[in-house]
Structures are given as C-alpha cells and as structure tokens.
Structure 1
Amino acid sequence: MSLLLIDDSKSSLLALETAVRRFAGCAIESFTNPLEALERTTHVEFDLVLVDYMMPELNGVAVIRRLRSQRGYETVPIVMITSQTERAVRLEALEAGATDFLAKPFDPLELEARILNLLALRSAQLALVDRARSLDQAVRRATERADIREQEIVWCLAQAMASRDGNTGDHIERVANIAELIAEGLGMDRIQRRNIYLAAPLHDIGKIGIPDAILQKPGKLEPDEIEKMREHVPIGVSILRNSSAELSRVATAIIGGHHEKWDGTGYPQGFAGEEIPIEARIVAVADVFDALCSERPYKRAWPIDEAFREIIACSGTHFDPACVAAFRRKWPEIRLLFDQFEMEEDRLRSSG
C-alpha cells in the first residue's frame, strides 16, 4: 500500500508523516507543492491520499476534483485535513469526492483509526478488482472452450453433409472464409462475422432429406427433380428453427435465404432486396462464387477471374449490390485464399 501526503506546511507535513509511519507499514511520499503531487499521481496510483485544505496554489478541494477526474483515482480514498469547521467547506469537499475528514491539529489516535480503516477499505477494493478480473478471465476461457466445441460440432455436421452430396470439405471452408471476408467488408463486428463464419457451412444441411438418386445424379436434373432438390431449403430450416441460440438463428436465416435473389426471382419465398436476411445475401455470393470455381461431375471449374467477373455482373439482379461491393473490396484476400488452397492441393498430390 502507498500513501500520498500533501500539505504546504513543512512542519505539519513532517509531523503527519512521522505519525503515520508509527502504525502504517506503507510507502509514503510527501509533497508541499500540490501541483508536483498531482504530476506524481500521473505515474503512481496511490492507495490513500491525505491533502490539506488551505494551500496557496490549489486548495484541497481543487486537488480532490482533479484526482477524481483522473483515471485510476475514481475510488481511491481521499482524506481532507483542515482546521476549517465551516459546513460549506465540508460540503464542497464531499461534492468534490472527499472520502473523509481529519481535524487539524490531528489527534494521533483518531489519525491511526481513520488511516487503518481507509487502508482496509482500499485493500478490500483491490481484492474485489482482482476477483472480478479473475472471474472475467475464467468466463473468457470457458467461452473460448465453448466456442471451440461449437465450431467442431458445426464443422462435423457440414463435413458429413458435404461428403454426401459430392462436395468437399474445402468447399464449405472456402464458403465460410469468403462469407466472413464479405461481412468484414460490410463493416460487421467480430461477433457477427464469427456467427456468419460458423453458420455458413450449414447452408445446405437440408440436403440430408433429399434422395441419393437426385443428390448424387451426375447429369442434369429433370424439372421434377429440381423441385425435389429445392425442398432442401425448408428441410434445413425445420432442423434449426426451434433453437433459441443466436448461431442457430443466423444459420436458419442463411439456410432459408441463400437461394433467394436480389431481384425476387429466387426461391423458396421469392423474397427481394432487403427482405432477404443480410446473412443469406452474404453467403449467396460466397456460395455461388465457390461453386463456379469448383469442378463437379456435371460441369467444369470456371477460371477464378471469370467467376469473379460473373459475380460482379450479377450485382443488382442475383446479388445484393452492397455485398458485391464488399466482395470486390475483399478480392485481394479472397484471391489469396484460393491460391493457398491450390498450393495445399498441389502439395498433397505431390506427397501422395
């Protein structure tokens, strides 16, 4: 614990410091100049301040006001020492933030009792701060562990679905990464971006209810098969819609809206513009772009620059123009993402 003593009288300051040292095992710093004392408080957070009222440059009330406005001194106990007994002075000091008063000349027993009580109060304050900090760290660690488990569960579900309909884990990972980059380009905060990143891989989870004959058909689907395939949207929504978790809400919005189009020609609801949840508008861009760049049994993979131009061309028709603009702003990072995936694939092929 550390004490700060301020009194323009050298004799009074010496008497006060000598008395305090008898019973308080604390570091003590003394100043006759209140401005020098205040400058020192910008470098040291004292645990208790005793300040005289009558001083020529700044009186005790002015010192208290400055301390209370200073970071770290919002709750530090401050005692004003004064020979003034006027009620107005004490009220002014209390309004400025004084914790207690000590009469001048001081009584040694009263001084000891007040100082020890206030040091005990400060010790309790610091203990509460440490406890709150420890609890905050514990909550943060628990949240991080829960986030990791949540991400693992989502990824396992998405991987299982991707392997069933002929996609790869790379596809869902790229869609998640691209969606997060677009969300960042739109100025979304960290929590929103994380929820979109985790929910995006679940966009086609409803395909679990589609027959293999349609889901894995290598050729073009017939009109009735297309209608059957489109049922994966309401199936996916029904899987998650009863959950109250925020991640499930985001995933449901994505599942239900990622096949809608900005101009209203999509499905299943034919929503247009901002009727489509923003999360779904983001994932629509990411999903179509990666699908264009991916080879399937029924189509070739588009060159990445050609796929980029297609996304830009569909702004305002298929896609939300704001999402496309964010996609364009994030293009260098998206391009780098695909380059990294290609390098990893080449490495795996050469090692195999």
Structure 2
Amino acid sequence: MRKPLILCVDDDATILELLCDFIKALGYNTIEARDGLEGLKLARQYLPDVILLDVMMPGLSGFEVCEKLKKDPNTEDIPVVMVTALGEIEDRVKALEVGADDFLTKPVALPELKARLKSLLEVKAHRDHLKRHKEALEREVQKKTKELQKALEALKEAHRKIKELSLEVIFRLSRAAEYRDEHTGEHIQRMAHYSAIVARRLGLNEEVVESILYAAPLHDIGKIGIPDEVLLKPGPLDEREWEIMKKHTEIGAEILKGTNSGFVRLGEIVALYHHERWDGTGYPRGLKGSEIPLAARIVAVADVFDAVTSDRPYRKALSTEEAFKIIEEGIGSHFDPKVAEVFLEAREEILKIKETFKDSETPKLYQLIKSLREKPLKK
C-alpha cells in the first residue's frame, strides 16, 4: 500500500527540516519546497495527499499558491494547510477565502500537526474514493450511452427498413386493384408522391406527410370489388353502371376499416372521400368545402392530375400544361383552392416525380389479364 505523500513548503530551512522529520516519523513520505513557485511546481508534478504551506514567502505568497492550486482541476482536491505566524483573524479569513482547508499557527504543536494530518488524509482518501467512483460511473454511463445509441441506431435502421417494406407492400397490393383497371403501378407511385409534396408544402409535419404518402396508394383499392363488366367497359357507363362504379369508395373504406394502423385508418378516409368535390357535387356523401378531410382533398388533386396525364385505352394522355390548366380551372369547384394553388406552385417538383416514375410494362400485364378474362375456357 502506498504511503501518503506530504508536500512541505517553507522558506525557513530549519522549520522545513523539523516538519519533514516529524512527518516521516509518523510513517509518511515527504517532498520539500523552499518557495511558493517551487511548491506550486512540485504540487502539480507529484499530486501529494496533503500540502503544508507557509504564508509569508518571497515571490509567490502562500495565499497566492493556495489560490492557484484550488483553481487547477488537477490539484483542487488536495487538502491545503496554511502554516503561519500570523494570528490576525483577517489572515485566517483570507486563508479560507483562497480555499485553504485548515491552518496551523507557528510554532507548530507536533501533536496537533499529527491529528490534523490524520484527519485531512482521511478526508483526502474519502475524496479520492468519491472521485474514482464518479469517474467509474461516468465511464459506465458513457459505455451504456454508446450501447444505447448503437441500439437506437439499429432500431432506427430496422424501423426504416420496415417502413420501406410497408410502403413496398402497399404499392404492390394497391397494384393488385389497379390491374383490374386501366391504371399502371406507376400511377399510384406518382400520385402518392404528388400528395406528399403538397402535404409538406401545406406545412403539415413529417409524420402526417409520411402517413399521406402511405395512405394515398389505397385510394382506389375498392375497385377490386367492382364487377368486370363495369370496371372494364371500354365505352361510357350508363346511369346504373355509374352508380355501381361510385361504390368503389365505400368498398375501399370497408376493406380498410377496423385497424390500429394510423396510415391505414387515413387510407380508409382517403378511399371514401377522394371523389368528394369542394362545391359539394362529389360522391359518396356530397360533402362540401372543409367538411371533406384534408388528406382526401390533397389526394383528389394528385389523382386527377396523374389520371389526365396518363394514356388510357379510350383516350390519349393530355400534356402536363393541359393538366395543370385543368387543376387551375377546378379551383373552388372541384378542388380545395389552397390545395390546388400549392399543387400548381410545386410544378417543378411534380414534373420531377412524373419523370422519375414513368409508365413501365404494366399496361402489357393489364392487357394480358384482360384478355384472359375475355377468353372463354375450353371445356
């Protein structure tokens, strides 16, 4: 076990020798300094357990040395005993003000010095124990923090992959309904991203924007319940057929209802209300203005724009300029004015999405499915 180390600082060689001899006799190690500057240097170099510090010395006084030691993080916990012939109360107060832990009056009574050293060494040992414990706790906290950060990053990555997978599943399931219609898989990609752009520009928070991105592809999922003779009819629908077609909104909402998933609940709302019109002439409820849920108002604009700019078996696609014109003309009648205006302001972003998600081979697959439906089975 290491012996305690005591630093004695005094410009009087005789007193310094007596102090060190007595301290060694007590079983402690000592180092000596004959002025304040040397004492400060040795204290920082050896980090003793206790410092006995004379006050009146040439150069740096004991008060100055003590003040510097207590301001240094490496030496601030070392107990300092001011040893002085000064007996004025002001000197004792000053010693305490600069951070001294104790003081002794010259000539030093050796039994008192022994008791003071024993007490201060116990204090120092306790401080050192607390310091080591604190450092150990800090290391453990840092270790656990790093582990937590690592686990959090892994969780975020897993959550990101789950979200990507969820969106992929939504797009693919939505395409199952689209294959029964003339739409393409890229249609749902485009209109979903159009919807997200508008939602973000409207100032909705990212969680809501993401929910709309996930919910928008589900808007026409109810078409899976529309009979082929209505859904696939190449010409205009008669009144009875049109009433059947309009049911896809309620069928979609029915398919999606009863879930705890936020974006699926939003998908239910979008499926039911995306054909409502701002002026109240839409379906299935004939809602008007702000009675229509905002997500459905957003999807309505995105859906119409993409529909008119895509080829269909019964007509060619309109140009983007013509499509933007349709949106502009529908402000206040078909579309929420604010939503439509934001859509028009986002023209560059909209066109970038349209370019990113071009129509692929889906129409060929659609034609294959349609031909199989129309081809009679051999008996």
Instruction: Give the alignment's TM-score, normalised by structure 2.
Output: 0.65
Give yes or no for contact 2:289–2:336 (8 Å, CA) kept in 1.
yes
Correspondence 1:260 to 2:276:
yes
SS of residue paired to 1:201: helix
- Give the Å deviation of 1:17: 6.2
Deviations 1:216-265 (A, max 9, x none): 00000001100000111111001111001111111111111100111111
Aligned-partner SS, 2:287: coil
Q: Which amino acid aligns with 2:179?
A: S
Q: Hey, what does 1:15 align to over in structure 2? A: 43
Alignment of 1:227 onto 2:243 = yes
Question: Are 1:189 and 2:217 matched, yes or no?
Answer: no
Offset, 1:338: 2.9
Question: 2:181 maps to which residue?
Answer: 165
Q: Distance in 2 between matches of 1:306 and 1:20?
A: 86
Indicate the residue corresponding to 1:126 in structure 2: 142
The more displaced of 125-134 and 287-296 is 125-134
Provide the aligned length of Structure 1 versus Structure 2.
274
CA distance, structure 2, for counterparts of residue 162 and residue 123 of structure 1: 57
Change (3 A) 1:118 1:16: farther
Distance 1:338 1:118, change over 3 A: closer
* 1:144 aligned onto 2:160: yes
1:282 counterpart (298, 302, 325): 298
Partner SS for 2:136: helix
TM-score using structure 1 length: 0.69
Per-residue CA deviation, residues 121-160 of structure 1 (Å, 9 max, x unaligned), is: 2112212211221221121022112112211210111111
Q: Distance in 2 between the 1:270 and 1:221 partners?
A: 20
CA radius of gyration, larger in:
2
CA displacement, residues 265-314 of structure 1 (integer Å, 9 cap, x when unaligned): 11111111121111111100000111111222233321210110110111
Do 2:43 and 2:75's aligned partners in 1 also have CA atoms closer than 8 Å? no
Partner of 2:265: 249
Partner in structure 1 of residue 194 of structure 2: 178
Identity score, percent: 35
Distance 1:181 1:114 in 2: 56
- Tell whether the 8 Å contact from 1:83 to 1:105 is kept in structure 2 after alignment: no
CA RMSD of aligned residues (A): 3.2
> What residue in structure 2 maps to residue 312 of structure 1?
328
**Contact 2:44 2:75 (8 Å CA) reproduced:** no
Unaligned runs of 5+ in 2: 1-35, 50-66, 78-97, 103-118, 365-379
Q: State whether structure 2 residue 299 is matched by structure 1 residue 271.
A: no
**SS in structure 2 opposite 1:259?**
coil
- Amino acid in the other structure paired with 2:262: E
Kindly indicate whether the alpha-carbon contact (under 8 Å) linking 1:185 and 1:329 is maintained by their aligned counterparts in 2: no
Give the stretch that moved more between structures: 239-248 or 142-151. 142-151
Equivalence for 1:291: 307
Q: Does 1:116 align with 2:132?
A: yes
Cα offset, 1:180, TM superposition = 1.4
